[in-house]
Structure 1
């Protein structure tokens, strides 16, 4: 039966011994999965025609998706991160060290690479390139590093789909400064994690990177709130709090920014054919959480959703929206 796997979990001692702050279970006739998640939830059971994800929104949309690039002549590392975690990702065919880049450099016939014993400002071994001119050593070194960083940047830009996601740089000032000069990526965080990063633990890098991008994510929410209040204050039709209009607007791709109250359900139905919304005081058979519905369709249609406290929803409502081009 549909509930059989759920009943089996009750007696599964090993399952309950390995839990996190929150537990989510999805079950359908052909799908059963569980997620241990690092945030707590209020107990909630929902029966619907689709997964109910609104309680997960703080993880999905307020969790801060960012990238981290650590730079030194001897080692490049690339990470994808959120508030909760940091994970290494591949740069494809891009070189991960200056020596590797120079082995395949088109100027390799003219420049001879050797590594001098000792430490440079990165804390690693110093890479020295000797050309055929006595006067140009520093310029040659800088040019080769920039060539190397260009290849790294190509790998970064190929690996990132959402160019709005902030990219944090970590490394010594010279490496990060040169990367900023040559990079085509549009969303590099102005501040840098400075210093030798070759031996830094991922947990330390994660904490320092999150401290930089958290300010940016908080600022984005405040900017969205200010934009809503400005529109509402001038009676601009692009700002609204009517639940029925917002639900329809989300489905028909008209919502640019949505604010919804965390921990609140508003039950009802949406008839896509008739474009009508029914709101019910209590949950009835066939109902869906309209706040969840609006959030899901706003995200599916490229909008931004903020799941916030009651005090943070503009105009003191349970839901508020900025429309792309006016209401229906």
Structure 2
């Protein structure tokens, strides 16, 4: 491919969860249906956690957050989807979008159908696929040997766990594997390292797809310090080692998008674009235009 550009790519796949994945996808929203997000589904906190506790099913919070950032125009449907109940009753704190996805999941054959119905309602062109359509939780083995269950508990660890896993063992959504197989470019991050990015890399069939893919894999590093103490203390080289160990391929990550505070010396001869990326309103969020510009530069190098 001579002089590759983002616009020339037929299929870009982004992996992650929550605000980070939504930010990356919204920066590339002009790709329309050529953009696919594979979303982490291990959240067990807040409104999502309460719904899972009482209704079961997969975690919807990260998918809802991504959809909110991909809505092309403000509408009554979009306002409803973002609405959060106040007060002190049973609905207090619940997000209507989570409840809508839960209801549509009950009415549908599979969770992916529920997401597609909401995409149609909100006029979101980019595709969103849950990493698995089976309910699953994150678990960790703490430094002292204790087994910690749930994303919230893992985020509260003070030290890096000696092991991470999924409970129970689940399979990746078939469409997620197909998207990776067809990808021209794969993005990973930004996002909470232990609870948004690593859960995806704990699915053996998904990591196998990443190993077999010939598409360049780009990691987008966070701009701010993570709230998780264990994750916040990780150096860039440690993150790369942990991700590539989980994927199972030596130096599978081809390129890096780094903010000014990242240690580029940890790139270890990978191609890297390092430049200011912070949004003016929330400095630890990536500015969409700056992020797209950085990705454009890196694609021209790794393609």
> TM-score, normalization: structure 2?
0.26
> TM-score, normalization: structure 1?
0.24
Which of the pair is proportionally richer in strand?
A: 1
Higher relative contact order (CA 8 A, sep 6+): 2
